[in-house]
Amino acid sequence: MTEALTFLRRATARHGPWIHKILGGALMLLALGLLSLGAHRVLAATTRRWFERDVELRANLAVTSARRGLQRHWTSQDATLLATLEDITRDERILGAAACTVDGERLAATEQFPQPLSCGALAERLRTSTGEGGDRWSATMDLHRGTIHLYAVAISPGGFVVLAHDLSFLARREQTTGRMALAAFVLLALAASLLTTIASRLAWLGWNSQLRLALVGPTPREFEPLVRDLRALVGDLARDRVGVEDSATVWSPERLREVLRTHLEGERVILVANREPYIHEHTPEGVRVLHPASGLVTALEPVLRACSGVWIANGSGSADRETSDPQGRIRVPPGEESFSLRRLWLSAEEETGFYYGLSNEGLWPLCHAADTRPQFRQEDWVQYVAVNQKFADAVCSEIEREDAIVLVQDYHFALCPKMIRARLPRATILTFWHIPWPSAERFGIAPWREEILDGLLGSSIMGFHTRQHCNNFVDSVDAFLEARIDRESSAVVQRGQRTLVRPYPISIEWPVHRLDGVPAAPLCRRQVFEELGLAQGSLLGVGIDRLDYTKGIEERLSAVDQLLERHPEFRGRFTFAQLAAPSRTRIERYRALNDRIEDLVQSINDRWERSGWRPIVLLRRHHEPPEVFRYLRAADLCYVSSLHDGMNLVAKEFVAARDDERGVLVLSQFTGASRELTEALIVNPYDLPQASAALARALVMPVVEQRDRLRSMRALVADRNVYRWAGRMLVEAAQLQKRGRLLGRLSEAGGG
């Protein structure tokens, strides 16, 4: 039953206009049919009355002209009375005639006179209907031979003559005229609907050409604002159809800028992220600019450089204050200065509760399946709310228009979208969650699950790396909030606010501008080999990460251990260099991880070390991008072993770095990147035999196979670069913004 109703509702929604047209047409035909039936009835009754009147006149004429003869022969009662009656019935319409006495005796009757009619009954009728002094009577009746009309007239003395007219021809005529009337009305109805269709088509064409004229030519003044909006929307829709998904065209900073110019009228983008793209640090050599190890920064810095706008972030560098203006503003990148960085200053208490506490001890382990329990503390939540409000206020102070486009980044700012929406109801808020979204069941353990979901639903679009994360998010909303889930268009509607939930797999810029100035692969290899003291003919593997328990660094090192155990041929030859950027070191778990990794490296090296060769080199410090790329170019393999990772851009950076088409990517199946980089050797990092076998395979992979795999992955990353990622989101956001504006204009025009 429910399914039937749903089907009907869907069918009505989809085919509504046609159903209305068909019903309208049917009703019109029914009305015309009823009209034609009624008209036919009225016409038939009128023509019958005319015929009866006509028959009466004829009968009267016939009797009047025969009256003398009738009177003369009345009493004679011989054959001449009958002959006179037969003379009268020569008129072909007169069926028969009879002569009766007022007492009801039949004196004579022609042969065709209907037998059932007795003179007694007729005399009675004549007496009662005409009354005193009356001398005639007429009636129409149906006998078994058909309809007859009787006309009786008194013939003195004491008798009357009755003429019977055959009226069955009338019924035949009525039938014929009825059919003709019906045919005429059907024809009329068809002609009418044909004319209506032609008229409405002409009217539509007329409206269309008027609209087209209005869109391209002079417009009546009262429609100008509406037509302006329509013109813009129509143009946008046409543009949108070609472009964003079109994989034939290359996405570049210029293309992204063009998208912003055409879709967003060159509007500046306002981005909120905890991590800043440039950190000013005091060092013994003076103030240095550092580029943090963050996938978010890797992806979004090129986008902001292309778009311009403002990046609002936590000013975390020791020299940040003195390098910014009093409002915390600084133009970046240094030397290029294509966008603004607005630094907000957090107190120690805010940083502890917001960044270390709720964000990285609560939400981070909540969202990553890496067997680390989240910790939720009320005092952290209080700071999280306060800092979210601080950033939301900063956004509102930066906007230049009420319907600005705001990009909210990551799990640090789950409450920001709702806070911004409260002050800027018409803003287009695009939130991207850079880490995985857990299953609804796991998410449900968060004490503020409703507040977090509610905050995020202030967004116009919620973006995740994968469809799986989108589904998990929608399931969580379904489980914990009163909201309508529109699974067909992957959207959530809550209190009239619609949030689209979309997968946008993030990527890196292409070409990577940070590779400019990085030496070619053979030179990188020579340099790195020299730095690490590796002998010629050695094999090199690299791992590059923040020192985080989600990255599976321990599993990675254990896989190297197994490789050496199972494949003696690599002992003394293979070295794995782990570049590990210290991260979140105030959190005990990160410190503990750091210690564990140190111990593990020590024990593996102790186990296999021999005459100047150590299998593992741990470089535990921050590495600037050129250094990272040098290692990526120098290596025989890169192993990304995350236990759970939203995307992992190191994997894509390795592919980008290898323009020599050499080297092998070994990639965890638990990264978002493994869904796209399918030519990597995909492994389960927990499965040490499998992972170590993959490392062994990578180290002996023929050059041709390396080239084929890399070519394919490079083509994919080049095509699905971060400009396409940003372009897709911004175009979708711009469409929402335009729709919002148009609806606003329409409701104003409608007096709303």
Distance from C-alpha of 506 to C-alpha of 436, rounded to nearest angstrom = 13
Strand order in the sheet with 461-464: 329-332, 339-344, 309-314, 269-272, 405-409, 428-432, 461-464, 497-503, 491-494, 484-486
Nearer to ligand F6P, 268 or 434 (CB): 434
Nearer to ligand F6P, 436 or 663 (CB): 436
Distance from C-alpha of 208 to C-alpha of 230, rounded to nearest angstrom = 13
Residue whose C-alpha is closest to residue 742's, from 13, 260, 234: 234
Check residue 368 for interaction with ligand F6P (CB under 6 A): no
Q: Which segment (292-300, 305-313, 386-394, 727-735) binds ligand F6P by CB under 6 A?
A: 292-300
Check residue 658 for interaction with ligand F6P (CB under 6 A): no
How many Cα atoms occupy the beta-carbon half-sphere of 297 within 13 Å? Answer: 18
Q: Which of 98, 296, 387, 657 binds ligand F6P (CB under 6 A)?
A: 296
DSSP E strand boundaries for 89-219: 94-101, 106-109, 136-143, 146-155, 159-166
Nearer to ligand F6P, 82 or 293 (CB): 293
Under rule CB under 6 A, how many of the chain's residues touch ligand F6P?
11
Distance from C-alpha of 688 to C-alpha of 84, rounded to nearest angstrom = 132
Contacts by 377-384, CB closer than 8 A, 24 or more apart: 377/353, 379/353, 380/352, 380/353, 380/354, 381/353, 381/447, 381/448, 382/353, 383/349, 383/350, 383/352, 383/353, 383/354, 383/357, 383/358, 384/353, 384/354, 384/357, 384/358, 384/359, 384/415
Nearer to ligand F6P, 589 or 697 (CB): 589
Check residue 435 for interaction with ligand F6P (CB under 6 A): yes
Between residue 571 and residue 610, which ones bind ligand F6P under the rule CB under 6 A? 583-584
Nearer to ligand F6P, 219 or 550 (CB): 550
Check residue 84 for interaction with ligand F6P (CB under 6 A): no
The nearest distance, CB 275 to ligand F6P, in angstroms, is 4
Nearer to ligand F6P, 410 or 679 (CB): 410
3-state secondary structure 333-379: CCCCCCEEEEEECCCHHHHHHHHHHHHHHHHHHHHCCCCCCCCCCHH
Distance from C-alpha of 326 to C-alpha of 328, rounded to nearest angstrom = 5
Nearer to ligand F6P, 421 or 546 (CB): 546
The three-state secondary structure class of 136 is strand
CA 194: distance to chain centroid?
37
The nearest distance, CB 720 to ligand F6P, in angstroms, is 17
Nearer to ligand F6P, 40 or 556 (CB): 556
Check residue 671 for interaction with ligand F6P (CB under 6 A): no
Nearer to ligand F6P, 548 or 636 (CB): 548
Check residue 651 for interaction with ligand F6P (CB under 6 A): no
Nearer to ligand F6P, 638 or 731 (CB): 638
Check residue 276 for interaction with ligand F6P (CB under 6 A): no
Distance from C-alpha of 559 to C-alpha of 688, rounded to nearest angstrom = 5
Nearer to ligand F6P, 219 or 642 (CB): 642
Distance from C-alpha of 64 to C-alpha of 86, rounded to nearest angstrom = 15
Q: What's the alpha-carbon Rg for the chain, to the nearest Å?
A: 48
The nearest distance, CB 14 to ligand F6P, in angstroms, is 42
Q: Which segment (279-287, 288-296, 524-532, 593-601) binds ligand F6P by CB under 6 A?
A: 288-296
The nearest distance, CB 498 to ligand F6P, in angstroms, is 26
Q: Which of 138, 294, 476, 671 binds ligand F6P (CB under 6 A)?
A: 294
Check residue 434 for interaction with ligand F6P (CB under 6 A): yes
Q: Which segment (176-184, 290-298, 457-465, 530-538) binds ligand F6P by CB under 6 A?
A: 290-298
Burial class for 221, CB neighbours closer than 10 Å (0-12, 13-18, 19+) = exposed
Q: Per-residue x/- marks for ligand F6P, 531-570, CB under 6 A?
A: ---------------x------------------------
Residue nearest to ligand F6P according to CB distances in the complex? 295
Q: Which of 253, 295, 315, 552 binds ligand F6P (CB under 6 A)?
A: 295
Distance from C-alpha of 276 to C-alpha of 377, rounded to nearest angstrom = 26
Q: Per-residue x/- marks for ligand F6P, 393-412, CB under 6 A?
A: -----------------x--
Binding region for ligand F6P (CB under 6 A): 274-275, 294-296, 410, 434-435, 546, 583-584
